[in-house]
Chains A and B, each alone.
Chain A
């Protein structure tokens, strides 16, 4: 069954701790994306990767880091430098090229207290 998985669904952390959100896809897609969703803000792009071992900053990359060592995996680390990390995080993938739709994972709700 092809798709995108994100784990865990809910994540709780203390302020000052780094936390890594998992995103895995078995769709053989080249491109992967991380979005942050806040109420009233829509989806804002954090990082994206078009090929393995390469990634670009999106609109709100500060306080986040990513890696793309394997085609199937694109983990996102929320560092302690991110001033307001509590949010809903969505991972997506697509074949390379803007004409293609993006396929989304179920999301991870991160709460930092």
Chain B
């Protein structure tokens, strides 16, 4: 069965710093999709970034980028120039052939002023 592991339950960084959230996953599939979702204090889930496994180029969305290491089954999220509004729970997620997504347990990120 596929699993998604986020090894950092909670992190804190100063505003404007760069922070990296870790995610590893386990699968025997070769084609799949990876996601990072953000859940701010409002609890509204928002997609941050998506990566297709067959694409070697790392996805980037403004200040958010990923480091996708397929062989290592690693999918970390880097947030550059962190802002107070980045304070949230961040969930790594994985999807393959089935129409369902498996989520990690999340990393609670605090951006400190």
Instruction: Give every chain A residue within 8 A of B100 (Cβ-Cβ).
Output: 33, 45, 48, 58, 98
Most buried by A among B9, B32, B97, B101: B101
CB distance from A64 to the nearest CB of B (A): 16
Decide: A90 and B45 in contact? CB cutoff 8 A. yes
B95 within 8 A of A: yes
Instruction: Give every chain A residue within 8 A of B46 (Cβ-Cβ).
Output: 104
Given contacts A43-B103, A96-B99, contact A101 B35 (CB under 8 A): yes
A111 within 8 A of B: no
CB distance from A49 to the nearest CB of B (A): 9
Decide: A43 and B33 in contact? CB cutoff 8 A. no
CA distance A43 to B35 in the complex (A): 14
What secondary structure prevails in chain B residues at the interface with A? loop
Chain B residues bordering chain A, tally (CB within 8 A): 25
Given contacts A48-B99, A98-B33, contact A106 B105 (CB under 8 A): no
- A31-64 contacts to B, CB under 8 A, are 31, 33, 35, 40-45, 48, 50, 58
Decide: B9 and A98 in contact? CB cutoff 8 A. no
A85 within 8 A of B: no
Contact partner of A40 (CB less than 8 A), chosen from B9, B44, B95, is B9
CA distance A88 to B109 in the complex (A): 20
Nearest CB to that of B46 among chain A residues? A104
A-B contact pairs, 5 of them (CB 8 A): A92-B45, A96-B99, A98-B98, A101-B47, A102-B47
Q: Knowing that A41-B105, A107-B44 are A-B contacts, what are 19 other residue pairs whose CB atoms are under 8 Å apart, sorted by A's residue number?
A: A31-B99, A40-B105, A42-B91, A42-B104, A43-B103, A44-B103, A45-B100, A50-B99, A58-B100, A88-B43, A90-B45, A92-B45, A96-B99, A97-B99, A98-B98, A98-B101, A101-B47, A104-B46, A106-B44
